[in-house]
Amino acid sequence: MSDDEVAPSSTAPVTQDHQPPERDITDGGPDMVQFLAADGTRVELTATNEPYAAYLEDVDQAAMKDMLRDLIMVRRVDAEGFALQRQGELGLWPSLLGQEAAQVGAGRAMRPQDYAFPGYREHGVAWCKGVPPENLLGMFRGVNHGGWDSNENNFHLYTIVIGNQMLHAVGYAMGAARDGDVGTGDPDRDTAVMAFTGDGGTAQGDFNESLVFASVTNAPVVFYVQNNHWAISEPNDRQFTIPPYRRADGFGFPGIRVDGNDVLASYAVTRHALERARSGQGPTLIEAFTYRMGAHTTSDDPTKYRISAEVDAWKAKDPIDRMTAYLTSEGVIDDAWVEQTEGEADQLAARIRKACQTMPDPPHEEMFAHVYAEPHTLIERESALFADYQAGFED
> Which is the catalytic residue, given 75, 292, 306, 322?
292
- Picking from 172, 197, 194, the residue whose alpha carbon sits closest to that of residue 119 is 197
Cα distances (Å, whole numbers) of residue 286 to 94, 113, 271:
22, 20, 11
Cα–Cα distance between 114 and 301 in angstroms, integer? Answer: 36
Q: Between 197 and 341, whose beta carbon lies closer to ligand TPP?
A: 197
Q: Are 100 and 128 in contact (CB under 8 A)?
A: no
Q: Which of residues 68-127 bind ligand TPP (CB under 6 A)?
A: 121
**Segment interacting with ligand TPP (CB under 6 A) among 108-116, 196-204, 271-279, 301-309:** 196-204
Using CB under 6 A as the binding rule, whether residue 159 contacts ligand TPP is answered as: no
Binding string, 9-38, against ligand TPP, x = CB under 6 A? ------------------------------
Return the ∠ at Cα 290 (arms to 287 and 293), rounded to 5°: 150
Taking the CB of residue 251, how many other CB atoms lie within 10 A of it?
Answer: 18
- Picking from 325, 330, 279, the residue whose alpha carbon sits closest to that of residue 59 is 330
Shortest Å, Cβ 249 to ligand TPP:
21
> Which is the catalytic residue, given 52, 224, 291, 305?
305
C-beta nearest to ligand TPP: residue: 198
CA Rg, the chain, in Å?
A: 21
Pairing assessment for the beta strands 255-259 and 284-289 based on DSSP bridges: parallel
Using CB under 6 A as the binding rule, whether residue 306 contacts ligand TPP is answered as: no
Among 296, 317, 322, 353, binds ligand TPP (CB under 6 A): 296
H/E element, 166: helix 164-178
Q: Are 155 and 129 in contact (CB under 8 A)?
A: yes
Q: Between 197 and 266, whose beta carbon lies closer to ligand TPP?
A: 197
Kindly state the DSSP code that residue 54 receives in the 8-state scheme.
G
- C-alpha dihedral (187, 193, 199, 200), degrees to nearest 10: 170
Is 305 assigned a catalytic role? Answer: yes
Cα–Cα distance between 250 and 205 in angstroms, integer? Answer: 15
Using CB under 6 A as the binding rule, whether residue 282 contacts ligand TPP is answered as: no
Binding string, 37-66, against ligand TPP, x = CB under 6 A? ------------------------------
Q: Between 190 and 287, whose beta carbon lies closer to ligand TPP?
A: 287
Among 54, 63, 161, 212, binds ligand TPP (CB under 6 A): 161
Taking the CB of residue 79, how many other CB atoms lie within 10 A of it?
Answer: 16
Among 78, 100, 199, 318, binds ligand TPP (CB under 6 A): 199
Cα–Cα distance between 216 and 137 in angstroms, integer? Answer: 38
Cα–Cα distance between 323 and 64 in angstroms, integer? Answer: 9
Taking the CB of residue 93, how many other CB atoms lie within 10 A of it?
Answer: 27
Is 376 assigned a catalytic role? Answer: no
Q: Between 35 and 82, whose beta carbon lies closer to ligand TPP?
A: 82
Shortest Å, Cβ 210 to ligand TPP:
14
Q: Between 282 and 319, whose beta carbon lies closer to ligand TPP?
A: 319
**Segment interacting with ligand TPP (CB under 6 A) among 195-203, 300-308, 341-349, 380-388:** 195-203
Binding string, 221-260, against ligand TPP, x = CB under 6 A? -------x-xxx----------------------------
**Segment interacting with ligand TPP (CB under 6 A) among 46-54, 154-162, 278-286, 343-351:** 154-162
Q: Between 156 and 353, whose beta carbon lies closer to ligand TPP?
A: 156
Q: Between 235 and 283, whose beta carbon lies closer to ligand TPP?
A: 235
Q: Are 204 and 163 in contact (CB under 8 A)?
A: yes
Cα distances (Å, whole numbers) of residue 319 to 209, 293, 315:
32, 11, 9
Q: Between 220 and 235, whose beta carbon lies closer to ligand TPP?
A: 235
Shortest Å, Cβ 138 to ligand TPP:
20
Taking the CB of residue 133, how many other CB atoms lie within 10 A of it?
Answer: 23
> Catalytic residues, which ones?
292, 296, 305
Residues binding ligand TPP (CB under 6 A): 3-4, 121, 160-162, 197-201, 228, 230-232, 292, 296
